[in-house]
Structure 1
Amino acid sequence: MSEVKMINKRKKLIVTFIIMLILVFLFNRAMYWSEFSTWKNKLFVGVISIFGVICIPLLLTYIKAASDYIDTFIANKINQIKYLAAHWKKTLLFTCIFAIIIAAAVLLEKIIFSRIYDGYSNLRMYFFVGTGILIFAIVLCGKIAYKRVEVLFAAAALIMGLTYIMVSPRHLLVTWDDETHYLRSVSLADVFDNTKFNAEGLFYDSQPAAYMYTQGDLTQEEFKAILDNVEYQYEQKRTDNRFGSEVGKEFVAYTPAAIGIIMGKALRLSFFHTFLLSKMVILCTYVLLMYFAIKKLKNGKVLLAVIGLSTTTMFMASSMSYDFWVIGFTTLGYSFFISELQNRDKKLEYRNIIMMNICFLLGIAPKAIYFVIMFVLLFMPVDKFKDKKQRRIYYSIIVGVAIFLMMTFLLPMLINSPGTGDSRGGSDVNSTEQIKYILSNPIEYSGTLLNFLKDYLNLDYASEFISSMAYMGYGIGTAITLMLIAALMYIDRGEEKVRMPYVRASYFFSAAVCVVLVATALYISFTAVGADYIAGCQPRYLLPLLFPMAYFIGVDGVTTKINKNAMAVAAVSIMSYFFMNNMWATCF
């Protein structure tokens, strides 16, 4: 490995200052000061601008860890550029192939499919471009597939996700609760200047029209007129109406979408291009989290890639959602923990302890009821610690983070009382009365819970969290995906047998408790008082538990002669085929 060349601090300071100056300029350009903006908003933006222009360049230059990272990053990019220059013929060839794929996609739509389906469609053209580039990327990564599974995953996920974003409907009611996620994302983006555009409110209020359009009660022309009005209002920058949504503790999960909205405003993009950009930032965030989660593992990489590329997860990571945040960060947290189990000879480092807890803190914050899944972290093997002091610190941090997360949803209930519950559950929902019912009838509720879990955890309904695309329908591939996961649980593992009975048992226990708590929370907040069913507990809530469950069910030490490179390519190709096939229906 070549030595990383240190960059002159003065040059680094100047370059980072210029970069931050540009970013701060764009950030301020995104602000729209209206009658609703206060001096506090302007002061807040001013402080952020000063911090960005002055403090961040100083921190990046004079904090050793950050400075070293920048040196390494720049050195890697320089080496990559040199490699491309040295192999210019191959670079030119790949560029030509890329251009040919785009040209072929356009011709395929114009010459063949436009005649089959009576008209040219940009959506189908985007699909063909994405499919061609995806196949090219998988072939290109073929030789390093198992060695760099995270690269293969990132390439496939980015291409498929961007393709889906381009062909997906330009309205709400596409995925679960996307209207709420959009409202909260906009609220976070608008918190700086305290200005909400009328267009954002009109788009949020377009849900009934979107539903009527999908049901055939509204013509395409009528629905287009509604969306055109949204765009017109956005171009006029009208702000005379206000619409709400307070920013709560779950706001952290909407950071990527809010960044996309701010970027769109800074770049003066149209309303719907800004909407698409916000979903692209969501996708990139998910891919980055899963990239580092896969990279962190010693084995089980292909297993995680397959789960990360499942249709439902990719669909949510390419839509207005925050499930990607919960899944991505908790998976990365588990990867830190599992990587320690896979490297038993290496002592635990403090930075890994900190990163693992930050991941769980960020990932669980939007849905604090998942705090119980951190229980398994308490069973880190004793021989991983450097000394007793480190062990005490480790336990203290784990318990502290878990208690903090637990309190974020318990304290509001204790202080404000549970309230009446979620109005979407119906008029018979009353959280206070439901809690009284459970405490007065524990046996009856236990029976209701067990009957619910019998179906909820039944693999016959696995399509609900494997191949469901919410309001867009169901896709193919559920059975094969489950079989692929089952196979990889044993063949994508280490060759040496590893015994960790306490870790496995503690995880299964915590996962079971987590499912019970989630179901009970929905019974309290979303289900009619005394009902013999549980409403609103969607199977997608199992997704943060899927990878660690599969990993801890599987065992190491299974000898196989399977070509690992071919295994990685085949697995990613199969999952890519399912998602691309499932998105085809949206291209019309």
Structure 2
Amino acid sequence: MKKNRIIGIIAIGLIVLILTLLIEVFVFNWNFITHGSKNQDITEITTNNLEILESGKYRILDNNASIKLNNIDEFVNKLQFNTDSFGKNVNIRISYNGKTVNNNIDFINEKSINIGEKVDSITISFVNATDQEISVNNFRNMNYFQINLIRVMMILLVMMLMGVIGFTLYKKGNIRLEVIFLIFVLSFGLANTIMIPVLYGWDDAEHFVKSYNLASGNIIMREGEAIEYPIGMGDFLEKKFQTSNPNYRTYEEFEVETDSLLAQKYSITESAYYPSMALTYTAVPYIFSAFGILVSKILNFPFIGSYYLGRFFNLIIYALTVFYAIKIIPMGKKLLFVCALLATVMFQATSFSADVVLNGFSFLAFAFVIKWLIDEKKLSIPDLLIMTGCFILITASKVTYAPIFLMVLLFKKNNFSSKKGEWIIKLSVLALGGLTFVAVFLYGQKLGLTQWEVPGISVREQLLFIIFTPLEYIKVIFQTFISQRDVLLGGSTVYLAYMGDLGRNTQIIIWLMLFGIALFDVDDKSSLLVMRDRGIILFTCLITLILTMTALYATFTPVRNQIVLGFQGRYLIPLIFPFLFLFQRKKWVVSFNTKIINIIVVAFSGTLLFSSVLYVFNLYYV
């Protein structure tokens, strides 16, 4: 029976692969099939407001400057040309058949622009680049057979998603959500790992440098301290400036960029120091990404391989922690499933950010606490070690999340062998939390808490303002949320760092879904969660929120400013699930079949994840 199942899986896999290739060949290469191969030079060119310096090289005279490709009068699948902006910021606008497409010619020497229509002429306008020099030449009308590997991966993701949703429907929702989560997080996470351009995560260059230091044995990174870096690291880190003007916009340009990265010789090293704004973070949140970099170095992969492997190892630890969290939590599985697969959360899971460890272990720690609370299990030494270990990892990742230690107060007398033992353990865990907070804070203070130079900052004056006028500070917090509510709610759900976001409508749908699941996913076990427990969870969330905002108000915001600057929606991610968990109920006005809700959350999360990778695909890989 087992042998037949394996044969069946292999057969299905082969059928899916063959079908994928057929779609790639006969659907996405249809222009090649119908119009044939083409490689034609476009030579009839006129210029406007451009000073010709030499053949193919120009100076832009004003914002109306343009190059017009004339008398084409045929089908153009792809327009390709050589270019050089000489390291300057030159945005371009391509116009044809009444259509306009924005692009740029920064950091790329060969442009490829998808047209896919019959055109008479194409105009390339230069935007906001007066007095800058550019080189554009060798314009070609191209049509060729192409296997776009990123597109092949997208087709496979569609088929996987259809298979998972179909299986869930076939089983009538009687599925293991943690297994579906693992399938989703690894497949879509791998897609993100490959597709998100390098250094496009929030401050990814800073976190990557920190990870690379740890992988090189430099556990405590100090300012000015040199280590062995590959020659070319400086050029690589400069790519963080491409987030506003991407270094590629099509699959052809992606291939050019990838070839340039692979061509750089990273096997030769030099002693150097590269600064990092993540200097004040402990090494803890970088352990897993650093291990990926170390594996790459040991296996002598190309340098760029170490970057992608570091991303992938962060994804693996996130997948494993949340898989186990969904598996063990006795209630709120569906809510946790959706929260852990939000577009922003999944985007972060494949970055070098400290948020990867923070988010994963926050979900896991809360799941452990709720499990032991609901099961009324007496806490053993291993249980306490697991719980405090998670709390320490969270606090060492970001010190402002230290209130997670307050979760120990949720436990009741049934969780302990005696009343005396209960308070000894609780006070010991809280004391450990205080010590961890102080240790991590002092570590950051020694290395310099304020890494970003912001005018008007005075930590002392800001703290005095908070202490002596607490009501004014509460007003500041309230105004921050009111004035930036869309940014904060979107920043925790639909934002994809420097690539943009999935839109406000998607954001509204997500929040409606989250509250809907929280309200209607009823569970008999929720009666064990009394008002005292809900109060502790809410208090922990509020203290964490206030502490995080206070840290930014003190170190990043001018004195007495009316809103907290620098507070982003992604900082809310570890708090979303415990906050929404408070809405769990035993009974509700309307009763819903929990298996039906399983179908809804699988279809919803799968569709959301595919929408996010499709968004990235359309930006960079068409």
With the length of structure 2 as denominator, give the TM-score of the two structures: 0.72
Question: Counterpart of 1:428 in structure 2: which amino acid?
Answer: G
1:257 to 283, 289, 294: 289
Counterpart for residue 184 of structure 1: 210
For residues 8-40 of structure 1, what are the alpha-carbon distances to aligned partners after superposition, in whole Å with 9 as ceiling and x for unaligned?
Answer: xxxxxxxxxxxxxxxxxxxxxxxxxxxxxxxxx
1:293 to 314, 325, 331: 325
Answer whether contact 1:368 1:408 (CA < 8 A) is retained.
Answer: no
Distance 1:556 1:394, change over 3 A: farther
| Corresponding residue pairs, total | 497
Q: CA deviation at 1:568?
A: 1.6
Q: CA deviation at 1:261?
A: 1.1
Residue 361 of structure 2 corresponds to residue 329 of structure 1: yes
Aligned partners of 2:533, 2:515: CA distance in 1, in Å? 20
1:207 to 233, 240, 245: 240
Counterpart for residue 516 of structure 2: 487
For residues 42-68 of structure 1, what are the alpha-carbon distances to aligned partners after superposition, in whole Å with 9 as ceiling and x for unaligned?
Answer: xxxxxxxxxxxxxxxxxxxxxxxxxxx
Counterpart for residue 237 of structure 1: 268
Residue 396 of structure 2 corresponds to residue 365 of structure 1: yes
Question: Counterpart of 1:423 in structure 2: which amino acid?
Answer: W
Give the number of the structure whose residues are more often strand, by fraction: 2
Counterpart for residue 318 of structure 1: 350
Q: Percent identity?
A: 23
Counterpart for residue 12 of structure 2: 94
Counterpart for residue 106 of structure 1: 24
2:422 to 391, 395, 404: 391
Q: CA deviation at 1:385?
A: 1.9
Identify unmatched segments of 5+ residues in structure 2. Answer: 33-76, 78-113, 117-142, 220-226
Question: Counterpart of 2:246 in structure 1: which amino acid?
Answer: T
Answer whether contact 1:185 1:257 (CA < 8 A) is retained.
Answer: yes
Equivalent positions of 1:310-459 (< 5 A) are 310-344=342-376, 346-388=377-419, 390-411=421-442, 421-424=450-453, 426-439=454-467, 442-455=470-483, 458=485
Residue 584 of structure 2 corresponds to residue 554 of structure 1: yes
Distance 1:310 1:117, change over 3 A: farther
Secondary structure in structure 1 of the residue aligned to 2:270: coil
Question: Counterpart of 2:160 in structure 1: which amino acid?
Answer: I
Q: CA deviation at 1:103?
A: 2.4
Aligned-CA RMSD value: 3.3
Counterpart for residue 52 of structure 1: none
Counterpart for residue 58 of structure 1: none
Question: Counterpart of 1:483 in structure 2: which amino acid?
Answer: L
Quick check: which has more Rg, 1 or 2? 2
Identify unmatched segments of 5+ residues in structure 1. Answer: 1-82
Give the number of the structure whose residues are more often helix, by fraction: 1
Aligned partners of 1:104, 1:557: CA distance in 2, in Å? 51
Q: CA deviation at 1:186?
A: 0.9
Counterpart for residue 54 of structure 1: none
Question: Counterpart of 1:287 in structure 2: which amino acid?
Answer: A
Secondary structure in structure 1 of the residue aligned to 2:228: coil
Greater mean deviation of Cα atoms: 224-233 or 334-343? 224-233
Equivalent positions of 1:269-280 (< 5 A) are 269-280=301-312
Answer whether contact 1:312 1:469 (CA < 8 A) is retained.
Answer: yes
With the length of structure 1 as denominator, give the TM-score of the two structures: 0.76
Secondary structure in structure 1 of the residue aligned to 2:211: helix
Aligned partners of 2:576, 2:422: CA distance in 1, in Å? 28
For residues 531-585 of structure 1, what are the alpha-carbon distances to aligned partners after superposition, in whole Å with 9 as ceiling and x for unaligned?
Answer: 2221111111111011111112222234866443342232122122122112223
Aligned partners of 2:417, 2:369: CA distance in 1, in Å? 16
Answer whether contact 1:198 1:240 (CA < 8 A) is retained.
Answer: no
Counterpart for residue 160 of structure 1: 188
Q: CA deviation at 1:124?
A: 2.4
Answer whether contact 1:329 1:363 (CA < 8 A) is retained.
Answer: yes
Distance 1:434 1:101, change over 3 A: farther
Answer whether contact 1:316 1:324 (CA < 8 A) is retained.
Answer: yes
Q: CA deviation at 1:96?
A: 2.5
Greater mean deviation of Cα atoms: 346-355 or 441-450? 441-450
Residue 419 of structure 2 corresponds to residue 501 of structure 1: no
Secondary structure in structure 2 of the residue aligned to 1:195: strand
Q: CA deviation at 1:528?
A: 1.8
